[in-house]
Structure 1
């Protein structure tokens, strides 16, 4: 079933019309990266200390959970190139990808849940669970009851960056998704790297390119000001660009483009 799950996610990304711009010209996302984490991995208990006690473990979301399936949807080169040219607002293509590409990602979550159920397994997408909740004020800033970035780290898909995003082998410009199931599958990574090892800033003190890419100073050598970032992305930009772009959630992504980790794990600045 390991290969079947990867093949089904990949097929859906390649074939479903939801993964295309409205004019049909190009996809939002390239072929996915897929990883698996054991539902009983100690990491998920540790997240309740690192993120907060409100962060739920896989078995709290789905009793009897065995595996967390996680995927990364890399944003296409043309969209990334368009966003590189911007310094204040996201490009039109990026905003469409953030808004309608995430609608496709929701469809992928639902599709995989239904596919697993047809094969006789129970499954749930934590982001679509009615019990999912976001908290605005926690010791780590804005946080929720399930972090797909942390699930992706547990599945070996990447490590964290200065801007709190995940740097995968295909870079930092992507969308993540996850499904919890009672289907037992072997973990895709037997030994996880240090949780920030893919980021040059944390690896050797170089880079920090994402700091200068942020138009509102939400990034510094001290890390990511989540509140300032959220106010700009979901407040200022949403208000300015909703009508212009036709996207209620345009995103930003400036710190995920025109940086060394945009499309790969960087080896040098």
Structure 2
């Protein structure tokens, strides 16, 4: 069943007309990565401490969707890697995202939402309850929390639980396909085999945390929101949701632009970077 689900997700992303630039028919994303986490994984309880008490466990999301007593079994998580041409276009930028990056953030995320709906509907056809946390009616994003901008469900943290990558100096997730991606998830009562987490710690894929040999994302941030002390989520949010949108959204024909400069022209852009200790 795990392989059937992976194939279903990859097919939808590869075949959906909504997954392509209308002017070129080129895709927004490469083939997805898919992982699975057990709903009972203690990490999901830990996230209430790490992110905030408002962050929901898989069981809480299932109960909101289907009623008290309905238990989750698995979190299905995926990574949608942004294509090389789009990454190349953003590498050349120093202030605002490229048009291709902004359109991928805007329209590619619409595809991601459609994928969430597709996965839940497919699972329902197989006789299983399923809910996409970000599409659930009570999902909330909070601009100001003790950890900065956060929501009732973090797709990045779900992906980490599913073994798809580790975190970085700029707070993004470095996966085997790199840091330039979108991610999504669905929670289901279908028991599936959890994916291994093949990393010794939650920062392992980041060269700075692994061996203090990087920091390229610091110089790439036009908002000055990244330093060796970490990521200033408030400064980042003001830039991504305010400054960049005001500057280029109308010009690019989008409502959300993203930024992604710190996810391109860096060693982890499209892979887990090899460090000096890997030679």
* Equivalent position of 1:36 in the other structure: 36
Give the 5 Å matches for 1:26-175. Answer: 26-62=26-62, 63-175=70-182
Cα separation, 1, equivalents of 2:86 and 2:204: 27
Residue deviations 1:144-200 (CA, integer Å, cap 9, x gap): 110010000000000000000000000000000000000000001166530000000
Note the C-alpha offset of 1:240.
1.2
Cα separation, 1, equivalents of 2:61 and 2:108: 25
Note the C-alpha offset of 1:7.
0.7
What is the TM-score when the length of structure 1 is the normalising length? 0.98
Cα separation, 2, equivalents of 1:67 and 1:24: 37
1:159–1:198 CA contact under 8 A, matched in 2: yes
Structure 1: 5+ residue runs without aligned partners? none
What is the TM-score when the length of structure 2 is the normalising length? 0.95
Cα separation, 1, equivalents of 2:173 and 2:219: 18
1:55–1:144 CA contact under 8 A, matched in 2: yes
Cα separation, 2, equivalents of 1:137 and 1:176: 22
Runs of 4+ in 1 over 2 A off after TM superposition: 190-193
Bigger shift: residues 41-50 or 133-142? 133-142
Q: RMSD between aligned alpha carbons?
A: 1.0
Note the C-alpha offset of 1:29.
0.1
Q: 1:212 to 1:190 in 2, by over 3 A?
A: closer
Cα separation, 2, equivalents of 1:174 and 1:251: 11
